[in-house]
Structure 1
Amino acid sequence: MNLTEWIISIMEQLGYLGIALLMFLDNVFPPIPSEIIMPSAGYSASQGQLTLLGVIIAGCFGSLLAAAFLYWIGYQFKHEGIFRFIDRYGKYLFIKSEDVKKSLGWFEHYGHRIVFFGRMIPAVRSLISIPAGMSHMPFWKFMFYSSLGTIIWTTFLACVGFYFGENQQLMQQIFSKVSDVIIVIVVLLIGWIVYRRQLRKMKN
């Protein structure tokens, strides 16, 4: 049984609870991608097995629950302890301490907006929550930005599966183009932030 078949079997057995569980794992365990989970759930909704709204709500709930959990870890524990834990056990979650350090650097340099866009970028969404907690970003603000990004991305994936689920090639083309657009937007945003900071320094 491959990964896609396993994901579909979980959803068939557990329904909305299975979707929420899988999206929780997507955020904690990156090799389980939302790009398979939500389109598959959306396709199931198009076949009448689930509802599209229910799929979206379940996906958002699981994703945000995982984000809050990872934020709590980053908030509660000292930096050294987190990095030691990741060095020892991160390989089982496909996470490296260097990746978390990079995410922490992005967060501290580019502000809270990286949380919003990070929820829509594979792998990044699994990493950005811990640095947000480590930086003691206000929880309500973290959840606000996380919710916006999560709702947009989860809804998009579910709708792609709902309307184009029978055309796998077209779905892959859509995901590829959208991912490229999001990355370009993030790069432009970072460039704009750096440019504004340089202007402030020059004025001062």
Structure 2
Amino acid sequence: MTATSPDSSWLSALLDWSVSLMDVIGPAGAGLAIALENVFPPLPSEVVLPMAGLAASTGSFTLLEALAWTTAGSIVGAFLLYGLGAWLGVDRLRRIAARVPLLRPDDIDRTVGWFQRHGGKAVFFGRMIPIFRSLISIPAGVTRMPLWRFGLLTAAGSLVWNTVFVLTGFLLGESWHVVEQYVDIVQYAVIGVVALAAAWFVVVRTRGAVAASRRRRSAAEDTAQPRELASSRAD
């Protein structure tokens, strides 16, 4: 079993390595590759998972083993990032935000508040969105979502995502590449939305900073004028 990809050589090497894991240690190799994909998103699950399904279709291991091990790998990788979020914590993030241009500590407070209200849905559905499927574990750790709840939601969301792509490889066999173009469209759309949101944030914050600077300068000038007038009268 080999992986073919139009991407750069380093990514092809990573994919070949993940495939070799499946050849050597079976479904556990697929689980390990998916765990690493959670921590290192450039290793695409959209390719690794169909390869696991393809291996299952050839009898290297069963479909159930492929689903069980890849979902276990998703959970392990998610908990690693959860640990990173827990280590960062709210206080450390607020201090970091205070030092970053255009960010404010209350941005962290609002984000934490939103996650505390909607974190369950964010973790479950976030596991099915490219890019966010890995990153969503960090705010879960920051807010210290109960471990049992985080694990259950991560397992459920990951099982849905993994099943779609493992079955793609299992049913389509060597033709599984036909779904890549559709996955790429979704991924580019997510990147585009994130880029637009970031640009909007920078524009709004920059305008706000400029307006605040003008107000301070105007207030300083208004304060200085009476002093200058009083000084001229004294002379």
TM-score (norm 1): 0.70
TM superposition shift of 1:69: 2.3
Q: 1:101 to 1:156 in 2, by over 3 A?
A: farther
Query: Which runs of no fewer than 5 residues in structure 2 stay unpaired?
Result: 1-11, 97-107, 192-235
Q: How does 1:1-204 map to 2 (within 5 A)?
A: 2-79=13-90, 81=92, 107-108=115-116, 110-173=118-181, 175=183
> How many residue pairs get matched?
169
CA distance in 1 between partners of 2:114 and 2:64 (Å): 34
CA distance in 2 between partners of 1:102 and 1:164 (Å): 45
Q: 1:82 to 1:22 in 2, by over 3 A?
A: farther
User: Which protein, 1 or 2, shows the higher relative CO under an 8 Å CA cutoff with sep ≥ 6?
Assistant: 1
Check conservation: 1:103, 1:128, Cα contact below 8 A.
no
1:187 maps to none
TM superposition shift of 1:137: 1.6
Q: Percent identity?
A: 40
Alignment deviations for residues 57-83 of structure 1 (CA, whole Å, 9 cap, x no partner): 000011101112221332244346579
The Cα RMSD (Å) is 3.3
CA distance in 1 between partners of 2:24 and 2:110 (Å): 38
CA distance in 1 between partners of 2:94 and 2:36 (Å): 21
Say which SS state the counterpart of residue 25 (structure 1) adopts.
helix
2:214 maps to none
CA distance in 2 between partners of 1:137 and 1:175 (Å): 30
Q: 1:162 to 1:179 in 2, by over 3 A?
A: farther
Q: 1:67 to 1:43 in 2, by over 3 A?
A: same
Q: 1:117 to 1:81 in 2, by over 3 A?
A: same
CA distance in 2 between partners of 1:101 and 1:49 (Å): 49
Of the structure 1 ranges 155-164 and 140-149, higher mean CA displacement relative to structure 2 is found in 140-149
Of the structure 1 ranges 69-78 and 56-65, higher mean CA displacement relative to structure 2 is found in 69-78
Query: Which runs of no fewer than 5 residues in structure 1 stay unpaired?
Result: 86-99, 184-204
Check conservation: 2:35, 2:73, Cα contact below 8 A.
yes
TM superposition shift of 1:138: 1.8
Q: 1:119 to 1:102 in 2, by over 3 A?
A: farther
Q: 1:48 to 1:66 in 2, by over 3 A?
A: same
Of the structure 1 ranges 171-180 and 144-153, higher mean CA displacement relative to structure 2 is found in 171-180
TM-score (norm 2): 0.61
Check conservation: 1:165, 1:171, Cα contact below 8 A.
no
CA distance in 2 between partners of 1:12 and 1:83 (Å): 46
